[in-house]
Structure 1
Amino acid sequence: MKKWVCIYLLGLATLAGAESPQRLLIVSDTWPPYVTGNPVRPGFDVEAATQVLQSMGYDVTFKLVPWKRAMKMVEKGLADGLLDASPNEERSRTFYIPQEPMSYSVSTLFCQSCDTSRPITNELLKGKRLIVNRGYNYVGTLEEDPDIEQLPVDSFEQGFAALNAGRADYYIVNRYVGLHALKQLGIDGVKVMQGHVAEPSPVYLLFSRQPRLMSLPTSFSKALSDFKKSSEYQEILRKYGLVDE
Protein backbone atom coordinates (compact mmCIF):
# COMPACT_ATOMS: atom_id res chain seq x y z
CA MET A 1 0.00 0.00 0.00
CA LYS A 2 2.77 2.40 0.96
CA LYS A 3 4.48 1.63 -2.33
CA TRP A 4 1.42 2.68 -4.34
CA VAL A 5 0.96 5.83 -2.25
CA CYS A 6 4.57 6.82 -2.94
CA ILE A 7 4.14 6.19 -6.66
CA TYR A 8 0.90 8.23 -6.67
CA LEU A 9 2.53 11.15 -4.85
CA LEU A 10 5.52 11.01 -7.17
CA GLY A 11 3.18 11.10 -10.14
CA LEU A 12 1.40 14.15 -8.75
CA ALA A 13 4.71 15.92 -8.17
CA THR A 14 5.85 15.13 -11.71
CA LEU A 15 2.56 16.35 -13.15
CA ALA A 16 2.72 19.55 -11.11
CA GLY A 17 6.27 20.15 -12.26
CA ALA A 18 5.28 19.61 -15.88
CA GLU A 19 2.42 22.07 -15.57
CA SER A 20 4.51 24.76 -13.85
CA PRO A 21 5.64 27.39 -16.38
CA GLN A 22 9.35 27.66 -16.99
CA ARG A 23 10.73 30.91 -15.63
CA LEU A 24 12.72 33.34 -17.75
CA LEU A 25 14.66 36.37 -16.54
CA ILE A 26 14.98 39.02 -19.26
CA VAL A 27 17.33 41.97 -18.70
CA SER A 28 18.02 45.24 -20.48
CA ASP A 29 18.91 48.87 -19.87
CA THR A 30 16.53 51.82 -20.20
CA TRP A 31 15.97 52.67 -23.86
CA PRO A 32 12.64 54.51 -23.94
CA PRO A 33 10.19 54.10 -25.54
CA TYR A 34 11.45 50.57 -26.32
CA VAL A 35 12.34 49.93 -22.63
CA THR A 36 11.26 52.54 -20.08
CA GLY A 37 11.34 51.17 -16.53
CA ASN A 38 7.81 52.52 -15.98
CA PRO A 39 5.61 49.72 -14.56
CA VAL A 40 2.51 51.14 -16.28
CA ARG A 41 4.23 51.78 -19.63
CA PRO A 42 7.32 49.52 -19.51
CA GLY A 43 8.17 49.97 -23.19
CA PHE A 44 6.69 48.61 -26.39
CA ASP A 45 9.36 45.93 -26.88
CA VAL A 46 9.04 44.88 -23.23
CA GLU A 47 5.29 44.48 -23.65
CA ALA A 48 5.61 42.61 -26.95
CA ALA A 49 8.31 40.21 -25.69
CA THR A 50 6.40 39.54 -22.47
CA GLN A 51 3.12 38.80 -24.23
CA VAL A 52 4.78 36.47 -26.75
CA LEU A 53 6.73 34.51 -24.13
CA GLN A 54 3.71 34.24 -21.86
CA SER A 55 1.64 32.92 -24.77
CA MET A 56 4.33 30.23 -25.15
CA GLY A 57 3.83 29.21 -21.52
CA TYR A 58 6.75 31.00 -19.87
CA ASP A 59 6.70 32.91 -16.59
CA VAL A 60 8.58 36.11 -17.49
CA THR A 61 10.41 38.46 -15.15
CA PHE A 62 11.93 41.64 -16.58
CA LYS A 63 14.77 43.46 -14.82
CA LEU A 64 16.54 46.73 -15.61
CA VAL A 65 20.32 46.74 -15.18
CA PRO A 66 23.16 48.76 -16.79
CA TRP A 67 23.81 47.56 -20.35
CA LYS A 68 27.29 46.09 -19.87
CA ARG A 69 26.17 44.21 -16.76
CA ALA A 70 23.08 42.97 -18.60
CA MET A 71 25.24 41.49 -21.35
CA LYS A 72 27.50 39.78 -18.80
CA MET A 73 24.52 38.34 -16.92
CA VAL A 74 23.14 36.69 -20.05
CA GLU A 75 26.60 35.59 -21.20
CA LYS A 76 27.23 33.85 -17.85
CA GLY A 77 23.75 32.33 -17.66
CA LEU A 78 22.67 34.52 -14.73
CA ALA A 79 19.82 35.80 -16.92
CA ASP A 80 18.06 34.17 -19.86
CA GLY A 81 17.55 36.99 -22.34
CA LEU A 82 18.98 40.37 -23.37
CA LEU A 83 16.34 42.64 -24.85
CA ASP A 84 16.92 45.00 -27.78
CA ALA A 85 20.50 44.20 -28.74
CA SER A 86 21.99 44.73 -32.19
CA PRO A 87 23.66 41.68 -33.72
CA ASN A 88 27.35 41.37 -34.56
CA GLU A 89 29.85 38.53 -35.02
CA GLU A 90 30.88 38.42 -31.37
CA ARG A 91 27.30 38.35 -30.13
CA SER A 92 26.38 35.61 -32.61
CA ARG A 93 29.05 33.45 -30.95
CA THR A 94 28.00 34.41 -27.42
CA PHE A 95 24.20 34.31 -27.60
CA TYR A 96 21.36 32.57 -29.41
CA ILE A 97 19.89 35.10 -31.87
CA PRO A 98 16.32 34.56 -33.13
CA GLN A 99 15.59 35.12 -36.80
CA GLU A 100 12.76 37.57 -36.12
CA PRO A 101 13.79 40.99 -34.71
CA MET A 102 11.84 42.67 -31.94
CA SER A 103 11.84 45.99 -33.80
CA TYR A 104 14.12 48.36 -35.70
CA SER A 105 16.43 51.14 -34.59
CA VAL A 106 16.66 54.27 -36.73
CA SER A 107 19.73 56.30 -35.72
CA THR A 108 19.96 59.98 -36.54
CA LEU A 109 21.73 63.11 -35.31
CA PHE A 110 20.51 65.68 -32.80
CA CYS A 111 22.00 69.17 -32.80
CA GLN A 112 21.49 72.79 -31.78
CA SER A 113 22.81 75.27 -34.34
CA CYS A 114 22.46 73.24 -37.52
CA ASP A 115 20.55 72.86 -40.76
CA THR A 116 18.37 69.80 -40.11
CA SER A 117 17.73 69.31 -43.84
CA ARG A 118 21.39 68.64 -44.72
CA PRO A 119 22.31 65.06 -45.67
CA ILE A 120 24.05 63.16 -42.88
CA THR A 121 27.53 62.31 -44.15
CA ASN A 122 31.04 61.97 -42.75
CA GLU A 123 31.91 65.25 -44.46
CA LEU A 124 29.24 67.03 -42.41
CA LEU A 125 30.93 65.96 -39.17
CA LYS A 126 34.59 66.43 -40.06
CA GLY A 127 36.20 68.65 -37.46
CA LYS A 128 33.08 68.38 -35.31
CA ARG A 129 32.51 66.73 -31.95
CA LEU A 130 30.11 63.79 -31.85
CA ILE A 131 28.50 62.45 -28.67
CA VAL A 132 28.24 58.63 -28.48
CA ASN A 133 26.95 56.26 -25.80
CA ARG A 134 29.50 53.87 -24.31
CA GLY A 135 28.86 50.19 -25.05
CA TYR A 136 26.48 50.83 -27.95
CA ASN A 137 26.90 49.05 -31.27
CA TYR A 138 26.19 51.71 -33.90
CA VAL A 139 25.43 51.01 -37.55
CA GLY A 140 27.33 53.14 -40.04
CA THR A 141 30.78 54.72 -40.22
CA LEU A 142 30.42 58.06 -38.41
CA GLU A 143 31.72 56.77 -35.08
CA GLU A 144 34.69 55.07 -36.81
CA ASP A 145 35.94 58.16 -38.68
CA PRO A 146 39.23 59.42 -37.14
CA ASP A 147 38.43 62.95 -38.35
CA ILE A 148 35.37 63.07 -36.08
CA GLU A 149 36.12 63.71 -32.41
CA GLN A 150 34.02 61.65 -30.01
CA LEU A 151 32.61 62.51 -26.60
CA PRO A 152 31.53 59.27 -24.85
CA VAL A 153 28.69 59.44 -22.31
CA ASP A 154 27.04 56.88 -20.04
CA SER A 155 23.39 57.89 -20.43
CA PHE A 156 21.01 59.79 -22.69
CA GLU A 157 20.58 62.38 -19.94
CA GLN A 158 24.34 63.03 -19.97
CA GLY A 159 24.39 63.14 -23.76
CA PHE A 160 21.63 65.68 -24.18
CA ALA A 161 22.93 67.75 -21.26
CA ALA A 162 26.33 67.93 -22.98
CA LEU A 163 24.73 68.83 -26.31
CA ASN A 164 22.48 71.44 -24.72
CA ALA A 165 25.50 72.96 -22.94
CA GLY A 166 27.40 73.30 -26.23
CA ARG A 167 30.08 70.73 -25.36
CA ALA A 168 29.56 68.96 -28.69
CA ASP A 169 28.07 69.62 -32.12
CA TYR A 170 26.02 66.47 -32.70
CA TYR A 171 24.65 63.49 -30.78
CA ILE A 172 24.00 60.16 -32.53
CA VAL A 173 20.88 58.56 -31.03
CA ASN A 174 17.92 56.44 -32.04
CA ARG A 175 15.25 58.85 -33.28
CA TYR A 176 12.45 57.59 -31.02
CA VAL A 177 14.75 57.38 -27.99
CA GLY A 178 16.08 60.90 -28.54
CA LEU A 179 12.67 62.51 -28.98
CA HIS A 180 11.36 60.71 -25.89
CA ALA A 181 14.40 61.78 -23.82
CA LEU A 182 14.10 65.42 -24.87
CA LYS A 183 10.45 65.45 -23.86
CA GLN A 184 11.21 63.89 -20.48
CA LEU A 185 14.12 66.27 -19.84
CA GLY A 186 12.17 69.35 -20.91
CA ILE A 187 14.89 70.47 -23.35
CA ASP A 188 13.56 72.71 -26.14
CA GLY A 189 16.72 74.00 -27.85
CA VAL A 190 17.78 70.72 -29.47
CA LYS A 191 16.68 69.75 -32.99
CA VAL A 192 16.62 66.42 -34.82
CA MET A 193 18.02 65.93 -38.32
CA GLN A 194 15.54 64.90 -41.00
CA GLY A 195 17.71 62.13 -42.41
CA HIS A 196 19.16 59.08 -40.73
CA VAL A 197 22.69 57.78 -40.22
CA ALA A 198 22.09 54.41 -41.86
CA GLU A 199 19.26 52.15 -42.90
CA PRO A 200 17.01 50.98 -40.04
CA SER A 201 18.82 48.24 -38.13
CA PRO A 202 17.09 45.33 -36.36
CA VAL A 203 17.30 44.77 -32.61
CA TYR A 204 16.65 41.37 -31.06
CA LEU A 205 15.88 39.51 -27.88
CA LEU A 206 19.12 37.54 -27.49
CA PHE A 207 19.05 34.34 -25.45
CA SER A 208 21.70 32.83 -23.20
CA ARG A 209 23.52 29.83 -24.68
CA GLN A 210 22.11 27.41 -22.15
CA PRO A 211 21.15 23.89 -23.30
CA ARG A 212 17.59 24.33 -22.03
CA LEU A 213 17.16 27.39 -24.26
CA MET A 214 18.60 25.89 -27.44
CA SER A 215 15.26 25.54 -29.23
CA LEU A 216 13.71 28.74 -27.85
CA PRO A 217 15.02 31.19 -30.52
CA THR A 218 13.28 29.24 -33.30
CA SER A 219 9.94 28.90 -31.54
CA PHE A 220 10.11 32.50 -30.27
CA SER A 221 10.75 33.80 -33.80
CA LYS A 222 7.64 32.05 -35.10
CA ALA A 223 5.49 33.26 -32.21
CA LEU A 224 6.79 36.83 -32.49
CA SER A 225 6.23 36.93 -36.25
CA ASP A 226 2.64 35.79 -35.75
CA PHE A 227 2.10 38.27 -32.90
CA LYS A 228 3.18 41.20 -35.09
CA LYS A 229 0.22 40.44 -37.37
CA SER A 230 -2.24 40.67 -34.49
CA SER A 231 -4.44 43.51 -33.29
CA GLU A 232 -2.77 43.21 -29.87
CA TYR A 233 0.57 44.24 -31.35
CA GLN A 234 -0.96 47.17 -33.21
CA GLU A 235 -2.55 48.28 -29.96
CA ILE A 236 0.87 48.28 -28.25
CA LEU A 237 2.31 50.44 -31.04
CA ARG A 238 -0.60 52.87 -30.79
CA LYS A 239 -0.15 53.05 -27.03
CA TYR A 240 3.35 54.46 -27.54
CA GLY A 241 2.45 56.66 -30.50
CA LEU A 242 4.40 54.53 -32.97
CA VAL A 243 3.71 52.88 -36.28
CA ASP A 244 4.77 49.43 -37.43
CA GLU A 245 8.05 49.72 -39.36
Structure 2
Amino acid sequence: MRRRTLLGSAPLWAASAQAQQEELLLVNAPYPPFVLEARDPIGEGLDVDIARAALARAGYSVRLALVPWRRALQMLEAGEADLTTTISLSGERERFLLFSEGYRSTVRYHFYSRRGSGLRVERLEDLAQVSLGYSAGFFYPPAIKQAVGRGLVEGRDLEVTVRMLNAGRSDLIVVNHLAGLWTIRRLGLEAQLERQPFSYSSGSPTYMALSRKRHGDGRLLNTLNEGLRALVKDGTLARLEARYLPP
Protein backbone atom coordinates (compact mmCIF):
# COMPACT_ATOMS: atom_id res chain seq x y z
CA MET A 1 0.00 0.00 0.00
CA ARG A 2 1.93 3.68 1.94
CA ARG A 3 6.91 6.55 9.03
CA ARG A 4 7.47 9.60 10.65
CA THR A 5 8.24 10.69 14.25
CA LEU A 6 6.83 14.08 15.09
CA LEU A 7 8.61 16.48 17.41
CA GLY A 8 5.51 17.87 19.05
CA SER A 9 1.85 18.61 18.66
CA ALA A 10 -0.62 21.29 19.57
CA PRO A 11 -3.27 20.37 22.13
CA LEU A 12 -6.47 19.06 20.60
CA TRP A 13 -8.54 21.79 22.27
CA ALA A 14 -6.44 24.45 20.56
CA ALA A 15 -6.74 22.77 17.17
CA SER A 16 -10.47 22.45 17.69
CA ALA A 17 -10.81 26.16 18.31
CA GLN A 18 -8.90 26.89 15.11
CA ALA A 19 -10.85 24.38 13.03
CA GLN A 20 -14.29 25.95 13.68
CA GLN A 21 -15.99 23.17 11.75
CA GLU A 22 -13.73 23.69 8.73
CA GLU A 23 -14.45 21.26 5.91
CA LEU A 24 -11.52 19.35 4.46
CA LEU A 25 -11.50 17.78 1.01
CA LEU A 26 -10.29 14.18 0.98
CA VAL A 27 -9.50 12.82 -2.49
CA ASN A 28 -8.99 9.20 -3.35
CA ALA A 29 -9.83 6.51 -5.87
CA PRO A 30 -12.12 3.59 -5.05
CA TYR A 31 -10.00 0.95 -3.33
CA PRO A 32 -12.31 -1.39 -1.42
CA PRO A 33 -12.74 -1.90 1.44
CA PHE A 34 -10.61 1.14 2.29
CA VAL A 35 -12.39 3.53 -0.10
CA LEU A 36 -15.72 2.46 -1.59
CA GLU A 37 -17.70 3.59 -4.59
CA ALA A 38 -20.29 6.34 -4.11
CA ARG A 39 -23.53 5.25 -2.46
CA ASP A 40 -22.16 1.90 -1.33
CA PRO A 41 -24.61 0.64 1.32
CA ILE A 42 -21.80 -0.23 3.75
CA GLY A 43 -20.36 3.28 3.79
CA GLU A 44 -17.61 5.36 2.21
CA GLY A 45 -14.84 2.97 3.21
CA LEU A 46 -12.77 1.93 6.21
CA ASP A 47 -9.96 4.47 5.78
CA VAL A 48 -12.35 7.32 4.96
CA ASP A 49 -14.18 6.61 8.22
CA ILE A 50 -10.85 6.47 10.10
CA ALA A 51 -9.80 9.87 8.72
CA ARG A 52 -13.18 11.41 9.48
CA ALA A 53 -13.19 10.07 13.06
CA ALA A 54 -9.61 11.20 13.73
CA LEU A 55 -10.24 14.76 12.51
CA ALA A 56 -13.76 15.16 13.95
CA ARG A 57 -12.22 15.19 17.43
CA ALA A 58 -10.65 18.54 16.55
CA GLY A 59 -13.78 19.99 14.94
CA TYR A 60 -13.06 19.24 11.29
CA SER A 61 -15.53 17.73 8.84
CA VAL A 62 -14.36 15.70 5.86
CA ARG A 63 -15.87 15.57 2.38
CA LEU A 64 -14.83 12.74 0.06
CA ALA A 65 -14.28 13.22 -3.67
CA LEU A 66 -13.67 10.10 -5.75
CA VAL A 67 -11.25 10.68 -8.62
CA PRO A 68 -8.66 8.53 -10.43
CA TRP A 69 -5.63 7.98 -8.19
CA ARG A 70 -3.21 9.91 -10.40
CA ARG A 71 -5.63 12.83 -10.43
CA ALA A 72 -5.84 12.68 -6.62
CA LEU A 73 -2.07 13.07 -6.37
CA GLN A 74 -2.12 15.96 -8.85
CA MET A 75 -4.81 17.75 -6.82
CA LEU A 76 -2.81 17.36 -3.61
CA GLU A 77 0.35 18.64 -5.28
CA ALA A 78 -1.49 21.67 -6.65
CA GLY A 79 -3.19 22.42 -3.33
CA GLU A 80 -6.65 21.67 -4.72
CA ALA A 81 -7.37 19.11 -1.98
CA ASP A 82 -6.39 18.67 1.66
CA LEU A 83 -5.63 15.01 2.24
CA THR A 84 -5.78 11.41 1.13
CA THR A 85 -5.66 8.00 2.81
CA THR A 86 -4.30 4.54 2.13
CA ILE A 87 -1.00 5.70 0.71
CA SER A 88 2.56 4.35 0.75
CA LEU A 89 5.55 6.48 1.65
CA SER A 90 7.94 7.33 -1.18
CA GLY A 91 10.66 9.91 -1.65
CA GLU A 92 8.98 11.47 -4.67
CA ARG A 93 5.72 11.92 -2.83
CA GLU A 94 7.41 13.59 0.15
CA ARG A 95 8.16 16.51 -2.16
CA PHE A 96 4.51 17.59 -2.09
CA LEU A 97 2.95 15.55 0.73
CA LEU A 98 3.20 15.47 4.53
CA PHE A 99 2.79 11.88 5.77
CA SER A 100 0.97 10.91 8.95
CA GLU A 101 2.14 8.30 11.38
CA GLY A 102 1.46 4.80 10.06
CA TYR A 103 -1.94 3.41 11.02
CA ARG A 104 -1.44 -0.13 9.65
CA SER A 105 1.97 -1.66 10.31
CA THR A 106 2.39 -3.88 7.29
CA VAL A 107 0.88 -4.74 3.91
CA ARG A 108 0.46 -8.27 2.61
CA TYR A 109 0.33 -8.97 -1.12
CA HIS A 110 -1.49 -11.99 -2.51
CA PHE A 111 -1.33 -13.48 -5.98
CA TYR A 112 -4.27 -14.88 -7.93
CA SER A 113 -4.48 -16.97 -11.10
CA ARG A 114 -7.34 -18.46 -13.07
CA ARG A 115 -8.58 -21.66 -11.48
CA GLY A 116 -7.28 -24.69 -13.33
CA SER A 117 -4.44 -22.79 -15.02
CA GLY A 118 -1.83 -25.20 -13.68
CA LEU A 119 0.25 -22.37 -12.24
CA ARG A 120 1.96 -22.90 -8.90
CA VAL A 121 3.71 -19.93 -7.33
CA GLU A 122 5.42 -20.80 -4.05
CA ARG A 123 8.32 -18.32 -3.96
CA LEU A 124 9.34 -15.02 -5.47
CA GLU A 125 11.55 -16.68 -8.09
CA ASP A 126 8.51 -18.44 -9.57
CA LEU A 127 7.31 -15.08 -10.92
CA ALA A 128 9.98 -15.40 -13.61
CA GLN A 129 7.63 -17.78 -15.44
CA VAL A 130 4.52 -15.55 -15.56
CA SER A 131 3.06 -12.28 -16.79
CA LEU A 132 1.78 -10.22 -13.86
CA GLY A 133 -1.17 -7.85 -13.72
CA TYR A 134 -1.20 -4.87 -11.34
CA SER A 135 -3.23 -1.69 -10.80
CA ALA A 136 -2.00 1.68 -12.05
CA GLY A 137 -0.85 4.30 -9.57
CA PHE A 138 -0.44 2.02 -6.56
CA PHE A 139 2.79 1.12 -4.79
CA TYR A 140 4.17 -2.42 -5.09
CA PRO A 141 7.45 -3.59 -3.55
CA PRO A 142 10.16 -3.34 -6.24
CA ALA A 143 11.21 -6.96 -5.59
CA ILE A 144 7.89 -8.18 -6.98
CA LYS A 145 8.05 -6.33 -10.28
CA GLN A 146 11.74 -7.09 -10.74
CA ALA A 147 11.08 -10.82 -10.39
CA VAL A 148 8.54 -10.96 -13.24
CA GLY A 149 9.90 -12.66 -16.35
CA ARG A 150 7.13 -12.48 -18.93
CA GLY A 151 5.94 -8.89 -18.66
CA LEU A 152 3.82 -6.56 -16.56
CA VAL A 153 0.19 -5.85 -17.47
CA GLU A 154 -1.29 -2.63 -16.09
CA GLY A 155 -4.95 -2.29 -15.20
CA ARG A 156 -6.64 1.10 -14.77
CA ASP A 157 -7.89 0.12 -11.31
CA LEU A 158 -8.27 -2.96 -9.15
CA GLU A 159 -11.56 -4.10 -10.65
CA VAL A 160 -10.15 -3.83 -14.17
CA THR A 161 -7.03 -5.74 -13.10
CA VAL A 162 -9.14 -8.60 -11.74
CA ARG A 163 -11.34 -8.69 -14.85
CA MET A 164 -8.25 -8.75 -17.08
CA LEU A 165 -6.96 -11.81 -15.26
CA ASN A 166 -10.30 -13.56 -15.64
CA ALA A 167 -10.24 -12.73 -19.38
CA GLY A 168 -6.78 -14.27 -19.77
CA ARG A 169 -4.84 -11.05 -20.35
CA SER A 170 -2.33 -11.92 -17.61
CA ASP A 171 -1.23 -15.17 -15.98
CA LEU A 172 -1.35 -13.78 -12.47
CA ILE A 173 -2.25 -10.62 -10.57
CA VAL A 174 -0.78 -9.09 -7.42
CA VAL A 175 -3.17 -7.39 -4.99
CA ASN A 176 -3.33 -6.00 -1.48
CA HIS A 177 -4.67 -9.04 0.35
CA LEU A 178 -7.78 -7.32 1.75
CA ALA A 179 -8.63 -5.21 -1.28
CA GLY A 180 -8.08 -8.12 -3.64
CA LEU A 181 -10.32 -10.54 -1.78
CA TRP A 182 -13.04 -7.88 -1.38
CA THR A 183 -13.02 -7.12 -5.11
CA ILE A 184 -13.02 -10.75 -6.24
CA ARG A 185 -15.98 -11.48 -3.97
CA ARG A 186 -17.89 -8.41 -5.16
CA LEU A 187 -17.37 -9.43 -8.79
CA GLY A 188 -18.56 -12.96 -8.07
CA LEU A 189 -15.31 -14.49 -9.33
CA GLU A 190 -14.33 -16.66 -6.37
CA ALA A 191 -15.11 -19.82 -8.34
CA GLN A 192 -13.10 -18.70 -11.38
CA LEU A 193 -9.97 -17.46 -9.59
CA GLU A 194 -7.69 -19.04 -7.01
CA ARG A 195 -5.07 -17.65 -4.66
CA GLN A 196 -1.54 -18.94 -5.03
CA PRO A 197 0.30 -20.23 -1.94
CA PHE A 198 2.98 -17.53 -2.16
CA SER A 199 2.41 -14.19 -0.45
CA TYR A 200 4.71 -11.22 0.09
CA SER A 201 4.74 -9.02 3.18
CA SER A 202 6.01 -5.46 3.09
CA GLY A 203 7.20 -3.83 6.29
CA SER A 204 6.01 -0.48 4.98
CA PRO A 205 3.06 0.91 6.97
CA THR A 206 -0.02 2.52 5.48
CA TYR A 207 -0.29 6.30 5.86
CA MET A 208 -2.54 9.27 5.36
CA ALA A 209 -1.03 12.33 3.69
CA LEU A 210 -1.70 16.07 3.56
CA SER A 211 -1.02 18.55 0.80
CA ARG A 212 2.18 20.48 1.62
CA LYS A 213 0.88 23.42 -0.37
CA ARG A 214 -2.15 23.77 1.90
CA HIS A 215 -0.87 22.46 5.23
CA GLY A 216 2.87 22.91 5.17
CA ASP A 217 2.97 24.45 8.66
CA GLY A 218 2.31 21.00 10.15
CA ARG A 219 -0.56 22.00 12.44
CA LEU A 220 -3.17 19.83 10.74
CA LEU A 221 -0.66 16.97 10.58
CA ASN A 222 -0.20 17.14 14.36
CA THR A 223 -3.97 17.15 14.81
CA LEU A 224 -4.40 14.15 12.51
CA ASN A 225 -1.71 12.14 14.31
CA GLU A 226 -3.21 12.90 17.71
CA GLY A 227 -6.58 11.79 16.42
CA LEU A 228 -5.21 8.54 15.00
CA ARG A 229 -3.51 7.73 18.32
CA ALA A 230 -6.76 8.42 20.18
CA LEU A 231 -8.70 6.05 17.89
CA VAL A 232 -6.28 3.26 18.77
CA LYS A 233 -6.40 4.02 22.49
CA ASP A 234 -10.19 4.11 22.87
CA GLY A 235 -10.90 1.14 20.59
CA THR A 236 -12.61 3.11 17.80
CA LEU A 237 -10.10 1.91 15.19
CA ALA A 238 -10.74 -1.75 16.05
CA ARG A 239 -14.50 -1.21 15.86
CA LEU A 240 -14.25 0.39 12.44
CA GLU A 241 -12.06 -2.44 11.15
CA ALA A 242 -14.54 -5.03 12.44
CA ARG A 243 -17.36 -3.30 10.57
CA TYR A 244 -15.62 -3.42 7.20
CA LEU A 245 -13.46 -6.52 7.68
CA PRO A 246 -15.54 -9.16 9.45
CA PRO A 247 -13.84 -12.51 10.19
Which band: TM-score by shorter chain? 0.7 to 0.9
Distance of 2:181 and 2:18 partners within structure 1 = 45
The aligned counterpart of 1:147 is: 149
1:101 equivalenced with 2:103 (yes/no): yes
Separation in 2, partners of 1:174, 1:225: 24
What corresponds to 2:5 in structure 1? Answer: none
2:80 counterpart (75, 78, 81): 78
Whose relative contact order is higher, 1 or 2, with alpha carbons under 8 Å and at least 6 apart?
A: 2
CA distance in structure 1 between the aligned counterparts of 2:214 and 2:160, rounded to whole angstroms: 39
Secondary structure of residue in 2 paired with 1:197: strand
Q: 1:149 to 1:209 in 2, by over 3 A?
A: same
| Number of the residue aligned with 1:229 | 233
CA separation of 1:125 and 1:102: change in aligned 2, threshold 3 A: closer
Identify the residue that residue 130 of structure 1 maps to in structure 2: 132
CA contact (8 A) 2:131 2:153 kept: yes
Structural RMSD (CA): 2.3
Counterpart of 1:241 in structure 2 is: 245
Q: 1:134 to 1:211 in 2, by over 3 A?
A: closer
Segments of structure 1 that go 5 or more residues without pairing to the other structure are: 1-16
Separation of aligned partners in 2, 1:239 and 1:19 = 29
Segments of structure 2 that go 5 or more residues without pairing to the other structure are 1-16
| Structure 2 match to 1:202 | 205
Residues 107 and 205, structure 2, Cα contact 8 Å, conserved in 1:
yes
- 1:193 Cα offset (Å): 2.6
| Cα shift at 1:71 | 0.4
Rounded Cα–Cα distance in structure 2 between residues aligned with 1:212 and 1:155 = 29
> Which residue is 2:14 aligned to?
none
Aligned pairs for 1:172-183 within 5 A: 172-183=174-185
What CA distance in whole angstroms lies between the structure 1 residues aligned with 2:201 and 2:193? Answer: 21
CA 1:104 to 1:32, structure 2 compared with 1: closer, same or farther past 3 Å?
Answer: farther
Aligned pair partner of 1:48 in 33, 50, 53: 50
> Which structure has the larger Rg over C-alpha atoms?
1
Alpha-carbon offset, residue 242 of structure 1: 4.7
Contact 1:111 1:192 in 2 (8 A): yes
Instruction: Report what 2:30 is aligned to.
Output: 30
Contact 2:76 2:96 in 1 (8 A): no
Q: Distance in 2 between matches of 1:107 and 1:19?
A: 38
Given that residues 21 and 59 in structure 2 are in contact (C-alpha distance below 8 angstroms), is that contact kept between their aligned partners in structure 1?
A: yes
Matched, 1:192 2:189: no
Counterpart for residue 12 of structure 1:
none
CA–CA distance in 2 between the matches of 1:111 and 1:163?
7
Q: How far, CA to CA, are the matches of 1:138 and 1:230 in structure 2?
A: 32
What number of residue pairs does the alignment pair up?
225
User: Secondary structure of the equivalent of 2:30?
Assistant: coil
Give, in whole Å, the separation in 2 of the partners of 1:182 and 1:221: 33
Aligned partners of 1:54 and 1:240: how far apart in 2? 20
Equivalent pair of 1:77/1:208 in contact (CA under 8 Å): yes
